[in-house]
Structure formats: C-alpha cells, structure tokens
Amino acid sequence: MPRPLPEIVRIDWPAGHDAPPTATDAALDRAAAVLRGGGLVAVPTETVYGLAADALDEAAVEGIFRAKGRPATNPLIVHVADVAMARSLASNWPEAADRITASLWPGPVTVVVPKAAAIPDAVTAGGPTVALRCPAHPLARRLIARSGIPLAAPSANRSEQVSPTTAHHVLESLGSKVSLILDGGPCDRGIESTVIDCTVTPPRILRPGPLARADLEAAVGGPVAWPSGGHAGGEPARSPGSRARHYCPKTPLELPADPAARVAGLLAAGNRVGWLVLSADERARSLAGSRDLVVVPMPADPAAYARQLYATLHALDQRQLDRLVADPPPTDEAWRAVTDRLSRAAEAGS
Ligand code: TXA
Ligand code: MG
C-alpha cells in the first residue's frame, strides 16, 4: 500500500507572544512524539526547512538519508537549543566556536567542532567532527526544547535538488517520505547557514551563507579564511556537501557573461526561457514581450535576493520551460553566498 501523504500543520505563532496558541502547542507535542519515536518531521528554520530526526538515534538518522536519497558520505548538521547543548555534543570546544556562538547564536551559522562519542557515525559520515547550529526560528527552538533532543536536520529536499523555503516545497520534494510537516510560512533568510570549521586556525568558511565573513571576523576577533580552491573542488573531505552539482533546479540554468544575447539566442532556437534579471535594461525590456520568455526581476540587495532565490527556482521549475538564464551577480563579497548557490545550480546544466 502506498504511504499516505504527510500531515501539514499550519503553525500560527504571532510575534511577541511567549507561548504558542493551543493548536500550535498540540502540533509541537505531536512532532516531539514523532521525533522521540525515531520518526522524521519537517520543520521551518530561518534559513530553509529542515528534515529532522533524533541526532542520537542511529536508526532515525539513517531514515533521513533514505528519505533524501543522500549519500552516506555527506554529514548532517545537528540543531541544538543553546550553547550548553552544543558543548555537550563536542569533545572539545575551540575558542573560535566559543566566540562565534556567544555572539551569533541563535542564528544562521553552523560551527564544525570535534565530536563527542555520543554522536552516531551516521551523523558525521564517520568523521571526527560534528557540525552544530542553534537556529533562530522560534518553532525550531521550541521543538528541540520540547523533545529534549538534539535534531539532525539537513534541508528537507531530495538530495541535489533545490532546498525548500516553504512547506509546499517540502511536500513536492519528499511527498510521503515524511509524516509530518510543520508549516511556518516562507523562510526569512532563504539560503542555508554559513558553515565554519572551528578546528583549524584561522577558522575557515566551508559554505558561504547569510552571515558574511566580516560578521564572523568581528565575532572571532581575528581573521577568517574562505574555502581553499573555490567551490567546485575545494575541500571535498572537509565539507562533502560543498562539492558542485547541488541545489539544482530541474530546468538547466546558466549564468552567461552576456545574458541578453544568450536569451535572444535561446529564444531564436525555439526554447522557452526563464530569465532572472538583476537590472531591467533596454534589451530585457525589448525581449520581455516574447510569449516564450518569463522575465523575473530579482532584488538588487543580496539578502533580499537570497530570500527569493529558491522560491523563484521552484516556481520556474513548474512552468515547463526549456532553459533558465540568470544575470551574473556583482562580484563583491556581499554577494558571495548567492553567487555560490547560483553557480552550483548552474553546474547541473554543464
Ligand atoms: O541552514 C542550514 O544549515 C540548513 C537548515 C535546515 O538548518 N541545513 C542544511 O543542511 O543546509 P545540509 O545537510 O543540507 O547541509 C549541511 C552542510 C553540508 O555542506 C555538509 O557537508 C556540511 O554541512 N557538514 C556537515 N557536517 C560537517 C562536518 N562535520 N564537517 C564539515 N562539513 C560538514
Ligand atoms: Mg541541502
């Protein structure tokens, strides 16, 4: 018999209220019970939706890998309620982790530290370190506190697909592979957390994200390194998820140097094209009348762009287009995370 579709519970928790309304409270109790029983729950965070399981239960963690079709070699992030819980999962707490977590948690930054023995090998892909994050989303934090367990949670999508920023994206990607989805509305940041390796000196960013290098350097009180060797081949052993071909839309995406010319060429060859434009110049406007072209104006601010990026890719994937083209973002550091995700998405087509 096919498994039933998941229950989706709309979570309503107005800002400024300490305790959630009754229905939300009951949903949190059910979610905590599913997690304690070794099951999977999709939960919103401020970055993207996560697919959560008890991080200390090896069989539950294996369930995450099965549901996502994720290679066992790609380790998971463990979500904690606070710094005390994080420290209990580390065999050693480096100075850099201490400073980063003291000033930037709860928030979209994940620290990689030496792992405690209690963490199953499945979580860390057999490695000696563990990635820890305290999410800022009140729902995620309540769920961790309510269940009393640290939650292993990768993004709640099939492996290599675009991460979900709404409950609907989770449903589309995972379907009946998850039994309960907590729907907290669209995610605020829209791209995955910044991951920083605190076991090396200076600490090194493994995955750029919502928190910029300058934020991390201010927290650490010293320099922070970028990934060595670019994102395609950099440090596969250190952060397996940072290999290219990740975050891929189903429709091939490219980032050409002259997007207007490329779009015109694709249209002339009979393609239906989606175009993520940063500046609506004359050529974009002149092509915009074409029946075979969907023009999506993207925000000129990197944080706003990040918030909309995955939702835009999900929406364009629904439109039966042949190709997607994105204007290359500006080259300054503020755009690093967006450029990283766009280039990975573009890898699929090449
Ligand atoms: O924002 C986020 O981080 C989201 C939400 C749900 O919290 N989670 C997320 O998880 O993006 P995931 O599994 O899609 O990405 C985890 C990243 C991968 O790049 C993985 O290789 C890296 O973290 N990672 C996990 N454990 C690691 C470790 N011990 N050492 C180095 N990198 C690690
Ligand atoms: Mg992911």
- For ligand 1, is residue 127 a contact (CB within 6 Å)? yes
Q: Which of 48, 77, 112, 165 to mutate to test the pocket of ligand 1 (most atoms within 8 A of CB)?
A: 77
C-alpha 144/C-alpha 56 separation (Å) is 13
pLDDT (0 to 100) of residue 197: 98
Ligand with minimal distance to 71 CA: 1
319: Cβ contacts below 8 Å, ≥ 6 apart: 272, 274, 294
Share of the chain above pLDDT 90, in %: 81
- For ligand 1, is residue 114 a contact (CB within 6 Å)? no
pLDDT (0 to 100) of residue 14: 79
Neighbours of ion ligand 2 (CB under 5 A): 155
Ranges 56-60, 80-84, 105-109, 280-284: which has the least confidence: 280-284
Mean pLDDT of 14-25: 84
Ranges 84-98, 172-186, 225-239: which has the least confidence: 225-239
- What is the CA(341)–ligand 2 centre distance, in A? 11
pLDDT at 238 over 60: no
| Token pair 């420290």: residue | 87
- For ligand 1, is residue 240 a contact (CB within 6 Å)? yes
Q: Strands 49-54 and 151-152: what pairing?
A: antiparallel
Mean pLDDT computed over every residue of the chain? 91
- For ligand 1, is residue 211 a contact (CB within 6 Å)? no
Q: Tell me: the pLDDT tens digits for 304-322?
A: 999 999 999 999 999 999 9
pLDDT (0 to 100) of residue 234: 36
- For ligand 1, is residue 191 a contact (CB within 6 Å)? no
Q: Predicted confidence band at 350 (pLDDT cuts at 50, 70, 90)?
A: very low
Fold identical between 7-220 and 253-349?
no
205: Cβ contacts below 8 Å, ≥ 6 apart: 194, 195, 196, 197, 213, 216, 224, 225, 226, 227
Q: Which of 104, 110, 124 to mutate to test the pocket of ligand 1 (most atoms within 8 A of CB)?
A: 110
- What is the CA(239)–ligand 1 centre distance, in A? 8
- For ligand 1, is residue 110 a contact (CB within 6 Å)? yes
223: Cβ contacts below 8 Å, ≥ 6 apart: 202, 217
Residue from 200, 211, 206 nearest 47 by CA: 211
C-alpha 43/C-alpha 58 separation (Å) is 20
**Atom 31 of ligand 1, nearest CA residue:** 239
Residue-range domain boundaries for the chain: 7-220, 253-349
pLDDT (0 to 100) of residue 231: 43
pLDDT at 237 over 90: no
Q: Tell me: the pLDDT tens digits for 183-212?
A: 999 999 999 999 999 999 999 999 999 999
Ligand with minimal distance to 209 CA: 1
C-alpha 339/C-alpha 306 separation (Å) is 10
- What is the CA(207)–ligand 1 centre distance, in A? 8
pLDDT at 279 over 60: yes
Q: Predicted confidence band at 218 (pLDDT cuts at 50, 70, 90)?
A: very high
C-alpha 251/C-alpha 314 separation (Å) is 10
The tokens for 47 are 């970055």
C-alpha 74/C-alpha 96 separation (Å) is 24
Q: Strands 129-133 and 77-79: what pairing?
A: parallel
The single-letter DSSP state of residue 114 is E
The tokens for 121 are 């090998």
* 7-220 homologous superfamily: DHBP synthase (3.90.870.10)
Q: Predicted confidence band at 289 (pLDDT cuts at 50, 70, 90)?
A: confident
The single-letter DSSP state of residue 107 is S
- What is the CA(260)–ligand 2 centre distance, in A? 31
- For ligand 1, is residue 241 a contact (CB within 6 Å)? yes
Second-level CATH architecture of 253-349: 3-Layer(aba) Sandwich (3.40)
pLDDT (0 to 100) of residue 12: 79
**Atom 17 of ligand 1, nearest CA residue:** 241
40: Cβ contacts below 8 Å, ≥ 6 apart: 34, 51, 52, 53, 60, 63, 64, 67, 177, 178, 179, 180
